[in-house]
A and B are shown apart, each in its own frame.
Chain A
């Protein structure tokens, strides 16, 4: 393992996303901006006294290599505590479609629609994003952008969505969600990169977050990521839940994705 890390770290410095055929860059709430195809497994572990949720998202992406259209499907599954024990439930199915706009200077960007709806079980839980598991449906209009400059790439996302949810606290029956995220991806070398992201959102169970990630392009088309999400607003007690202020949880991330 140490030898592998040594080899990886010894790789020459490179611009972000320089690995040919590699995965496009993405943050935590910011998805891939560049057009591409692949699959990914995204794991989330909410740890701490008020944690206890483990989520696995399976995502498949398809990007038209000859056109500006791409799409993805995501299906999440969570294990979570209930009053009578631990339970595993499927979350909401998410379908997304993006139109990749012409570049403006160094800005690569796209607009899209993300739809989610409960199709199978009712998973009365959440991780950080409110629409992944709690039974409901909704549509989000999204703009995402990416500006690359040497080793540093800025990632941006703005969205607005309308959603319905099973009307049990802490969820309202319907809500409008406006969100903005900004991230910086710094390429340490050809294989390693660091990602920092901040997100603000309302309505949201975690309205203000900081995320930190390490990404490793272990081989062509295969990327691993590990990181942590710090739910600052939750820690401050500024959340629609009954949870008071206090550092009682954080979300660990462990992702594997491939690009075709």
Chain B
């Protein structure tokens, strides 16, 4: 069995290309993604909402609160609303190597005052952290015999080591699959990353049905160097939907995860290097 050596693969991955998705300009979403790591210390938390409209000189309720999961306690910061975008700016930046939980609260306003709401799909709690650790956030089957892994930060040449994958406990060998690093243009066009936001990466693999059955419901286990294992059940979902769930993408009709596949089949195959 030949292990996958991902550090040899990465320089080729940047060549991958594809078709952009067609997002609804009225989508609502949050940033960073749920579980995103390596978040810069000066990055703001963003809630992009279309339903929230409050007078600029009216006091905002506590729509966002953040908890330091390592030290405990609330993180002090300022919340501002401008042009449909709610931003939380920590008073002293994010601490390095720290995990945080942040919550978007439903809007509660007193009677006899301005009335508004936050999309129900945006309400909830997610974690992010400032460590550079790698985490597998989701695994999906966007099209037959293709499985994709959403990683918590961009993959770099520092991510070396053996990539070991099993599908339903069956080892996947390097010569059985083709790996593609999917460019963001294919799944993330609908949300504009802040300049300082590194975002996430999606790594897809394809293989023949006879040798690697990449089917929804299968259990994917991944080891990467000394990290892992991560375990995910493969979900039948497009890449846009996979990322959409992590960013609580809420279309104007309120449904979550109704996007279509992003056409990543057109991506350049880079192949797995033994």
C-beta contact mask, B104-117 vs A, less than 8 Å → 1, else 0?
00001111111110
B53 interface residue (CB < 8 Å to A): yes
Contact status of A124 and B55, CB under 8 A, knowing A84-B61, A168-B116, A169-B116: yes
Cβ-closest chain A residue relative to B111: A50
Residues of A within 8 A of B54 (CB): 168
Contact of B108 among A83, A87, A241 (CB under 8 A): A83
A58 interface residue (CB < 8 Å to B): no
Contact status of A126 and B112, CB under 8 A, knowing A83-B60, A84-B59: yes
Q: Chain A contact residues: over half helix, strand or loop, or mixed?
A: loop
A51 interface residue (CB < 8 Å to B): yes
A68 interface residue (CB < 8 Å to B): no
C-beta contact mask, B50-71 vs A, less than 8 Å → 1, else 0?
0001110111111000000000
A24 interface residue (CB < 8 Å to B): no
Residues of B within 8 A of A81 (CB): 110-113
A46 interface residue (CB < 8 Å to B): yes
How far apart sit A135 and B113, CA to CA, in the bound complex (Å)?
A: 12
Residues of B within 8 A of A170 (CB): 115
Are A53's CB and B58's CB within 8 A? no
Contact status of A242 and B115, CB under 8 A, knowing A82-B58, A166-B55, A168-B55: yes
Are B113's CB and A51's CB within 8 A? no
Residues of A within 8 A of B59 (CB): 82-85, 87
Cβ-closest chain B residue relative to A249: B111
Most buried by A among B55, B60, B113: B113
Residues of B within 8 A of A51 (CB): 111-112
How far apart sit A125 and B110, CA to CA, in the bound complex (Å)?
A: 10
Contact status of A46 and B113, CB under 8 A, knowing A82-B58, A122-B57: no
* Inter-chain CB contacts under 8 Å: number: 63
C-beta contact mask, A123-165 vs B, less than 8 Å → 1, else 0?
0111100000001000000000000000000000000000000
Cβ-closest chain A residue relative to B107: A83
Query: A50-68: which residues lie under 8 A (CB-CB) from chain B?
Result: 50-53
Residues of A within 8 A of B112 (CB): 46, 50-53, 80-81, 125-127
Contact of A82 among B53, B62, B110, B115 (CB under 8 A): B110
Residues of A within 8 A of B58 (CB): 82, 122, 124, 168
A120 interface residue (CB < 8 Å to B): no
Residues of A within 8 A of B61 (CB): 83-84
C-beta contact mask, B141-173 vs A, less than 8 Å → 1, else 0?
000000000000000000000000000000000
How far apart sit A12 and B116, CA to CA, in the bound complex (Å)?
A: 55
Shortest distance between the CB of B169 and any CB in chain A (Å) = 53
Shortest distance between the CB of A238 and any CB in chain B (Å) = 16
Residues of A within 8 A of B62 (CB): 83
Closest A-B pairs by Cβ, 9 of them:
A83-B61, A81-B110, A84-B59, A50-B111, A169-B115, A168-B114, A82-B59, A53-B112, A125-B112
Can you offer 17 A-B residue contacts whose CB atoms are under 8 A? A46-B112, A52-B110, A80-B113, A81-B111, A81-B113, A83-B60, A83-B61, A84-B61, A87-B59, A124-B58, A125-B112, A126-B112, A168-B58, A168-B114, A168-B116, A169-B114, A241-B115
Given contacts A83-B59, A127-B112, 14 further A-B contacts (CB under 8 A): A50-B111, A51-B111, A51-B112, A52-B112, A82-B113, A84-B59, A84-B61, A122-B57, A124-B58, A124-B114, A126-B112, A169-B53, A169-B116, A241-B111
